[in-house]
Amino acid sequence: MSCRIAVFGTGYLGATHAACMAELGHEVLGVDVDTSKLAKLGSGEVPFYEPGLEEILKRNIENGRLRFTASYEEAADFADNHFIGVGTPQKRGEYAADLTCVDAVVDTLAPLLDRPSVIFGKSTVPVGTAERIGRRVRQLVPNGVEVDVAWNPEFLREGYAVRDTLHPDRLVLGVDRNRPGRAEEVAREVYARLLSEDIPFLVTDLATAELVKTAANAFLATKISFINAMAEVCEMAGADVSVLADAIGYDARIGRRFLNAGIGFGGGCLPKDIRAFMARAGEIGADEALTFLREVDNINMRRRTRMVELAREAVGGTLLGTSVAVLGAAFKPDSDDVRDSPALSIAGQIQLQGASVNVFDPKAMENSRAVFPTLNYATSAIEACANADLVLVLTEWNEFLVLDPQVLRKAVRRPSIIDGRNCLDSQVWRDAGWAFRALGRV
Ligand code: UDX
């Protein structure tokens, strides 16, 4: 059965959700206040890099199931189900999440609703937000109109957003246990195709659903920082963290995924989500439970400093006057996102220490330039490496993994490379005459 859906927010989360819901056969209206984004999306152009998204966006615009608007009136008139997918960034100068956008959607939408509807929150929010929004919605909706508020967290990864939305590991729906309403029934209609594929569907209370998301991200961040802490130990002990990760990863209880040591995690989610989680835990009297996340954050930030130190050592003690090639600026491959990117942060720090830094990234050049206009930007990996005293691989894009060390050697001034993602074969590079260093490996 086809549902009429409005999706508020057209960033990574909202645009992907809107396009994927249309792909599932629903009629979808994407809503945003940013008219330039809407114009792009409306003409079938994705304003960020996400493999596979443009195809389904175009297809569903063409078949008429997907449209975009800035009008909340149109959304309230058109849809019975409303998904909130706006951003919840870190507050300036604080750890807590900034809920301005979520609140603005609710405050604008609720008074316009004139028939039974369900609002599904998808944004990552501090536990307790859904209940608060439920109360707010009940205050704002016109008398006698039944509107249910449920929480349906999103677990999509950038670079795999379409696949993660259409084939998620699980669906989680938090409903208000005191007034369950129609949320579960509607969610079952919206996700009917996914449920028919036996994707696990967990119906919980609101608080648990909110916490599932933050707990999942806290666990992933902890896993990465664990292996990065092991990398620090390996460096001191003369051991190899990559082999260590392989060996412990064979234990099914541990698992090899998310055990890649390197310059650590970044992006628009993990760093701000663990901080918002700590802030919220403090507010509800559970701060002791999450003090370990402070250490997870510290280990992660230390990796960036360590990389700068290694770079300094590799060029003989001072970066002043050296030329450093930085391969990779996005926070991870297959993304053009540079939010809290370890790669870009390292490039910036190295430049501040007096090096001339030449950056190349296959997709994130424009976004990098906007954040760090003073770095030099090359048009290819080989150009970035021209006359370099040192090459740093900071994002494991496939095109960097297949670089030919012999060819690159001819471009640089000194064949010296540091692998910040443990993604290169050290032997191949050493055999080709390179001085090779990596984090957590000798
Ligand atoms: C993350 C969660 O995975 C996703 O479920 C949630 O919805 C949003 O946040 P994303 O930010 O897209 O997704 O990136 P992810 O693939 O999780 O990587 C996060 C960071 O960790 C990247 O900077 C990546 O380079 C780093 N990472 C990942 C490592 O350093 N080592 C690893 O082994 C894995």
pLDDT at residue 1 in the model:
81
pLDDT at residue 163 in the model:
97
Look at residue 442 and tell me whether its pLDDT is greater than 90: no
Average per-residue pLDDT in the chain? 97
Ligand 1 pocket, residue 271 CB under 6 Å: no
pLDDT tens for residues 289-305? 999 999 999 999 999 99
- Choosing from 16, 156, 157 the residue with most ligand 1 atoms within 8 A of its CB, the one to mutate for a pocket test is 157
Look at residue 369 and tell me whether its pLDDT is greater than 90: yes
- Ligand 1, atom 33: nearest CA belongs to which residue? 258
* Six token digits for residue 214: 């933050």
Active-site residue identified among 3, 20, 234, 269: 269
Closest atom of ligand 1 to 155 CA is 7
Ligand 1 centroid distance, CA of 157 (Å)? 7
Ligand 1 centroid distance, CA of 18 (Å)? 22
pTM above 0.85, yes or no: yes
Q: Which CATH number fits domain 205-442: 3.30.450.20, 1.10.1240.10, 3.40.50.2000, 3.40.50.720?
A: 3.40.50.720
Ligand 1 centroid distance, CA of 267 (Å)? 7
pLDDT more than 90, % of the chain: 99
Ligand 1 pocket, residue 156 CB under 6 Å: yes
Closest atom of ligand 1 to 216 CA is 5
Can 4-199 and 205-442 be said to share one CATH topology?
yes
Active site residue 101: no
- Give the 3-state secondary structure of the chain: CCCEEEEECCCHHHHHHHHHHHHCCCEEEEECCCHHHHHHHHCCCCCCCCCCHHHHHHHHHHCCCEEEECCHHHHHHHCCEEEECCCCCECCCCCCECCHHHHHHHHHHHHHCCCCEEEEECCCCCCCHHHHHHHHHHHHCCCCCCEEEEECCCCCCCCCHHHHHHCCCCEEEEECCCCCCCHHHHHHHHCHHHHHCCCCEEEEEHHHHHHHHHHHHHHHHHHHHHHHHHHHHHHHHCCCHHHHHHHHHCCCCCCCCCCCCCCCCCCCCHHHHHHHHHHHHHHCCCHHHHHHHHHHHHHHHHHHHHHHHHHHHHCCCCCCCCEEEEECCCCCCCCCCCCCCHHHHHHHHHHHCCCEEEEECCCCHHHHHHHCCCCEECCCHHHHCCCCCEEEECCCCHHHHCCCHHHHHHHCCCCEEEECCCCCCHHHHHHCCCEEEECCEC
Give me the residue spans of the domains in the chain: 4-199, 205-442
- Ligand 1, atom 21: nearest CA belongs to which residue? 265
Task: Give me the architecture of the 4-199 domain, per CATH.
Answer: 3-Layer(aba) Sandwich (3.40)
- Average the pLDDT over 149-173 and give the result: 97
Ligand 1 pocket, residue 260 CB under 6 Å: yes
Ligand 1 centroid distance, CA of 265 (Å)? 6
pLDDT tens for residues 109-134? 999 999 999 999 999 999 999 999 99
Look at residue 65 and tell me whether its pLDDT is greater than 90: yes
Look at residue 359 and tell me whether its pLDDT is greater than 90: yes
